[in-house]
Amino acid sequence: MGQNNLKCIFKPRHVAVVGASEKTGTIGNALMKNLIDGRFSGTLLPVNPKYKTIHGHECFGSVSALGTSVDLAIIATPIRGVVDIVSECVKKKVGGAVIISAGGKEVGEQGREIEEKIQQIAHAGGLRIVGPNCMGVIQPGANLNASFATEMPATGNLAFVSQSGAICSAILDLAFKEHIGFSHFVSIGSMLDVDFGDMIDYLGNESSAKSILLYIESLTNVRKFMSAARSVSRIKPIIVLKSGRSPAGARAAASHTGAMAGEDAVYDAAFKRAGIVRVDTIEELFDCAELMAKQPRPRGPRLAILTNGGGPGVMATDTLAHYGQEPAPLDPETLQAFDAFLPDFWSRGNPIDILGDASAERFGQALEVCLKSKNLDGVLVILTPQALTDPLAIAETLAAAIQDRRYPIFACWMGGKRIATAVDALNAAGIPTYDTPERAVRAFLYMAEYTRSLEMLLEVPSKMTGHMVFDQVKARKLIAAAPAQEFLPETDSKEILAAYGLPVIRTEIAETEAQASRIGREMGYPLVMKVHSGDITHKTDAGGIRLDLRCDADVCEAYNQIMSSARRYKPGARIEGVTIQPYFSNPDYEILLGGKRDSSFGPVILFGMGGIYTEVLKDKALGLPPMNRLLARRLMEETKVYSLLQGFRNHPAADMQRLEEMIIRLSQLLIDFPEIAELDMNPVLIKDGKPIAVDARILVSPLAVPSSLHLVIGPYPDKDESHMVSVDGRRIFIRPIKPEDAPLLTALFKTLSPTTIYHRFFGTLTELNPEMLARFTQIDYDREIALVAIDEESPTDNILGVARIIGDADGKTGEFAVLMGDAWQGKGIGGNLLEKCLSIAEKQGFKTVHGIVLKENRNMLALGKKLGFEAEKYLDTGENRLVIHFEGKHQ
């Protein structure tokens, strides 16, 4: 199902309206009138067997009767007839359809069956569908109002996509009031076909859409959504309002991890991983929409508050403080500039209180000083109507002053009737207006959050100090033997963790008092004893833990006390004895590390405060595999316990690198074994900086999905690793590129000759900036293939060359590129890299791979011919387009 067909929906030339009508009050009439009133310049083709003409346009009895090709069919008939209409559209080779009709899965099983039939027919015929049960689509720049909305909004740079028609109507009303324009306005409905992932991919390639705003009730293909969002959020802000928040831990769960990984918290973690900014309320969605549509994005959170009243300035400051920020400090030059014209008793700080008698001229001068400062990222101008205030004059002064703005300027005009005209003037001038300082500050901080998210996406993770080794065979044997829907014995759980290099404490099982006594003597004192039962999750509550056992008598007494307490706590529980392990007295810290399988997002990693305070303090953070050191560190930084782990008073700092490694190893375990439903390491004790898991539980539940497909983010594809020998006999390691490779790629670039750079980048380039490095190394393995060549005989890692295929959103077409270091050209390495990329692309379902090669690049042209590419010359530029189709090749 192609993205190209979405162009037929949003940029059609021939539009059929199925169910068109002249009857007032019908959707078919509203659709026709909106298309006509919106001045759609293409061909309108109403379809309704009851009419000969509709609104002056020839009417046809059916889609099949249309005498011309159709880009877009808008269907507004009862849904029971839509199956046949979609069949006609497929036979007529219609590009795309918008199904307005309601009555699908939202009304029950009969509607669901109708949707399934529509989906089967459309998918088989390559017809893309928006809807059903939607308001339609609007693209003001193309004069396309293919909806039953009351009016066409203005053209702007904001793209809005919503599952809710009611939210669409509310946003449109706001847009007219606040002078907000849109590049695209989409009511996506039930998402029978086109979903949020499709829309993000499409809008990411639309230059008219500078920002993307989403109202989400649910997600369908979560992996596609994450892939699209992670790609597009690097170039455009994506703001989401996700409805359906629920309290964390609302569902019953069998373990600490299960209780703490609520569905909505997982959405938070996923949005953060994808670089998406999430807002909490409709009000905040409106406020962000206005700021994004009218103003440039801030470079950071440094806000100046310019006001003629002290109270509102304090309110703005309090809101900043609530979100962990402060007003930006004013540098000496800025203070001196203000002193030159403000009264002696101005605030001499930020908030910048220019006093209640401030004139329009004073406001203008103050704003000019702010705009000249290099230490600000935005200015909030607050006005309270006082005796000498002229709100309209001040609004006009602001509008004139912001023509050459470098960062967002927005306003809070407080009041009612007296300021209404001034607020209209601000909106008309493209200055966002807010009723209260709190709303204004929140909108600004959401935009600053996107800037911070973008910076984090560009960060390069540190490389691991050593090679990680995992005993997958041992872990698989233990997991395969586990009973379904039951927790593994603690000893088996710890063996699995140890197989993946996670530090676990020695643990022995004693089924009798005599065994406990013998194990105690062998292990040495002091010891810890715990009840061994898969039916008892919270051992402390059951009286199932005894600490600091220092002799054989202590061991025997503890055994009998635990068995007795556990039976009283849960009479029906299966109690298999006790576990015995060394006692760590007075640990410096206790943390929790675990994982849980979410029904939508797959495995989720949990890190937080551990021990008996887990449920009480609820200090935790969630993350999604795969993990690297940077992501692991960020996960920990989201918790309060992270500050403690840095060391305080007489407690030494935890070994953060070891904790990062534990998270990465856990991530790999969850990647390799989809059947792990829950995993708990609680507590992980940290003593003298070193962590060790002293309690562990793993719940196994069958999942009919192979490894990696249960994830929403494609993991590193180690199956694509290989080895070769170059023409001059050197051993070369071929592997997929990693985010940690950024420094190695920089080092390779520094060795390149100007000619090699010109051949690869089609121009001069002096360095790879952070954005380029992130783009080249932090790839989405689902839609891009990039292999690097490493010299195995070198004492240090050196990238010798890179080949990549960048796939389109459909995964059917890709563009290749090859870059080889000058010293390694002509040794067969570049050809090997590209050939392996092509082989992977074909296995992933690519149909065509192409690339542009300069006529001077004879080596690449020769390689292309050798690998089976066809050459197409562009006579006007002298460039060559190499194309390869995969029918029968690389089988």
Q: Which tens digit of pLDDT belongs to each residue from 33-56? A: 999 999 999 999 999 999 999 999
Q: Is the bond preceding residue 153 a cis peptide, omega within 30 degrees?
A: no
Closest CA relative to residue 490, chosen from 603, 604, 609, 575:
575
Residues 119 and 73 in one domain: yes
Question: Residue 69 gets which letter from DSSP?
Answer: -
The secondary structure of 597-618, three-state, reads EECCCEEEEEEEECHHHHHHHC
User: CB neighbours (10 Å) of residue 483?
Assistant: 9
Q: Is residue 147 situated within a structural domain?
A: no
Q: Give the per-residue pLDDT at 43.
A: 96
Whether 449 shows a pLDDT value over 50: the answer reads: yes
What mean pLDDT comes out for the span 390-399?
A: 92
What mean pLDDT comes out for the span 619-638?
A: 95
- Residue 554 burial (C-beta neighbours within 10 Å; 0-12, 13-18, 19+): middle
Q: Give the per-residue pLDDT at 251.
A: 41
Q: Is residue 468 situated within a structural domain?
A: no
> What distance in Å separates the CA atoms of residue 81 and residue 103, rounded to the nearest whole number?
11
Closest CA relative to residue 2, chosen from 118, 128, 132, 191:
128
What mean pLDDT comes out for the span 73-85?
A: 96
Whether 256 shows a pLDDT value over 50: the answer reads: no
Q: Give the per-residue pLDDT at 322.
A: 95
Residues 3 and 108 in one domain: yes
Q: Give the per-residue pLDDT at 2.
A: 59
Closest CA relative to residue 492, chosen from 641, 703, 696, 355:
696
> What distance in Å separates the CA atoms of residue 610 and residue 620, rounded to the nearest whole number?
9
Residue 760 token pair: 């690869």
Tell me: the pLDDT tens digits for 777-802? 999 999 999 999 999 999 888 999 99
Q: Is the bond preceding residue 715 a cis peptide, omega within 30 degrees?
A: no
Residues 411 and 514 in one domain: no
* Beta carbons of 507 and 676 less than 8 angstroms apart: no
Highest mean pLDDT (candidates 167-171, 608-612, 839-843, 855-859): 839-843
Relative to beta strand 813-820, strand 799-807 is antiparallel
Q: Is the bond preceding residue 603 a cis peptide, omega within 30 degrees?
A: no
Residues 843 and 761 in one domain: yes
* Beta carbons of 86 and 64 less than 8 angstroms apart: no
Residues 616 and 765 in one domain: no
Residue range(s) defining the domain that contains residue 759: 718-885
Length of the chain: 891
Q: Is residue 141 situated within a structural domain?
A: no
Q: Give the per-residue pLDDT at 483.
A: 85
For the chain, what is the domain count? Answer: 6
Residues 313 and 453 in one domain: yes
Of 651, 671, 700, which residue is a domain's last? Answer: 700
What contacts 24+ positions apart, CB below 8 Å, involve 110-118? 111/79, 114/79, 114/80, 114/82, 114/83, 115/190, 115/192, 117/83, 118/82, 118/83, 118/86, 118/192
> What distance in Å separates the CA atoms of residue 276 and residue 227, rounded to the nearest whole number?
12
Closest CA relative to residue 385, chosen from 347, 351, 413:
413
Tell me: the pLDDT tens digits for 532-563? 987 888 888 899 999 999 999 999 999 999 99
Residue 249: pLDDT band (50, 70, 90) is very low
Q: Give the per-residue pLDDT at 261.
A: 45
CATH number at residue 606: 3.30.470.20
CATH number at residue 91: 3.40.50.720
What mean pLDDT comes out for the span 131-136?
A: 94
Q: Find the radius of gyration of the CA atoms of the chain.
A: 32
CATH number at residue 228: 3.40.50.261
Of 561, 583, 605, which residue is a domain's last? Answer: 583
What mean pLDDT comes out for the span 63-71?
A: 94
Whether 274 shows a pLDDT value over 50: the answer reads: yes
> What distance in Å separates the CA atoms of residue 220 and residue 190, rounded to the nearest whole number?
10
Burial string for 347-364 (b: 16+ CB within 10 Å, else e) reads beebbbbbbeebbbebbb
Q: Is residue 604 situated within a structural domain?
A: yes
Residue 772: which residues within 8 A CB-CB, separation 6 or more?
none
Residues 629 and 535 in one domain: no
Q: Is residue 549 situated within a structural domain?
A: yes
Residues 679 and 728 in one domain: no
Residue 94 token pair: 């219609």
Q: Give the per-residue pLDDT at 326.
A: 96
Residues 774 and 862 in one domain: yes
Q: Is residue 394 situated within a structural domain?
A: yes
Q: Give the per-residue pLDDT at 258.
A: 43
Of 397, 427, 458, which residue is a domain's last? Answer: 458
Residues 694 and 734 in one domain: no
What mean pLDDT comes out for the span 820-830?
A: 95
Residue with more model confidence, 533 or 745: 745
Q: Where are the alpha helices (DSSP H) in 3-152?
A: 4-10, 27-37, 82-91, 109-125
Whether 492 shows a pLDDT value over 80: the answer reads: yes
Whether 386 shows a pLDDT value over 90: the answer reads: no
CATH number at residue 865: 3.40.630.30
Q: Give the per-residue pLDDT at 888.
A: 54
Sign of the torsion formed by the C-alpha atoms of 700, 701, 706 and 707: negative
Residues 741 and 598 in one domain: no
Residues 796 and 850 in one domain: yes
Whether 185 shows a pLDDT value over 80: the answer reads: yes
Average pLDDT, rounded, for the chain = 91
Relative to beta strand 154-162, strand 144-147 is unpaired
The secondary structure of 358-371, three-state, reads CCHHHHHHHHHHHH
What mean pLDDT comes out for the span 183-190?
A: 95
Residue 246: pLDDT band (50, 70, 90) is low
Q: Is residue 711 situated within a structural domain?
A: no
Amino acid at 187: S
Q: Is residue 543 situated within a structural domain?
A: yes
Q: Give the per-residue pLDDT at 105.
A: 85
pTM value surpassing 0.75: yes
